Amino acid sequence: MALLRLKLFLSTLCILCMVNLVDCKKVKKLQIELNKLKEEVSALEDTIDQNRDELDEMEEKCSSTQECCAEISELRKMIEGPGLKCAVNGKTLGNSCYLFSSTSSTWQDAVKSCSDMGGRLAEVYSKEVNDFLTNMRKAANVNDIWLGASDIETEGTFKWETSKKEIDINSFTNWSPNQPDNWYTEDCLHSFGDSGSWNDIKCTSSYRYICEFTM
């Protein structure tokens, strides 16, 4: 995200540079810094891949030694857990780290994808979190995202998928006017618009999503 913002900033500077509104030397310097940052991120990703390969080998060799396997398992959690992913691409708020998906999918596939990475499709219990996710979405220039709740189990009763907490009259909600309306059978929660309004929509729709990890 930081890289993306820097890229957009540089693009704007370049346009201004072309009309001689800013110092072109400064723009060049920023471009060099951006390229260096890209190389560092790429090197970090290579290192993570190398470490993963080494752990695979070690795990095979040490399968009979419980103590060693426990250590390997800890290392694997560090490499494959949310910590490194968030350091490179994520955003943190409180004890949660949020990662924006790079592709769109159905609601069920979004739930599975987040779960496979050790997280959950984002659950929202406050305006602060709703605004935070809305800002992430808007910064990525995306119109809609899935959130992790549905009324698949009981029509009319929305429940957060991973925590199993019901959205009731005491819960934070941000429903758009006249929603949820189950229009021609809509069971999955998505968020859209300037204030991150909520709407129930068909679960087979395809949207990007944000996975949430506990740090």
96 binding Ca ion? (CB under 5 A):
no
Q: What are phi and psi of 103, to 5 degrees?
A: -130, 165
Using CB under 5 A, which of the segments 13-21, 52-60, 84-92, 174-182 binds Ca ion? 174-182
Of the pair 123, 200, the CB lying nearest Ca ion is at 200
187 binding Ca ion? (CB under 5 A):
yes
Which tokens go with 35? 């390229």
Smallest Cα–Cα separation from 201: which of 181, 179, 186? 186
Minimal CB distance residue for Ca ion: 182
186 binding Ca ion? (CB under 5 A):
yes
Integer Cα distance of 133 and 144 in angstroms? 11
Using CB under 5 A, which of the segments 51-59, 70-78, 150-158, 164-172 binds Ca ion? 150-158
Integer Cα distance of 75 and 81 in angstroms? 10
Burial class from Cβ neighbours inside 10 Å (0-12, 13-18, 19+) for residue 51 reads middle
Which residue in 99, 129, 133, 151 binds Ca ion (CB under 5 A)? 151
161 binding Ca ion? (CB under 5 A):
no
191 binding Ca ion? (CB under 5 A):
no
> For 18-29, b where at least 16 C-beta lie within 10 A, e where not — what string?
eeeeeeeeebee
Which residue in 96, 130, 174, 199 binds Ca ion (CB under 5 A)? 199
Q: Which residues contact Ca ion by CB under 5 A? A: 151, 179, 181-183, 186-187, 199-200
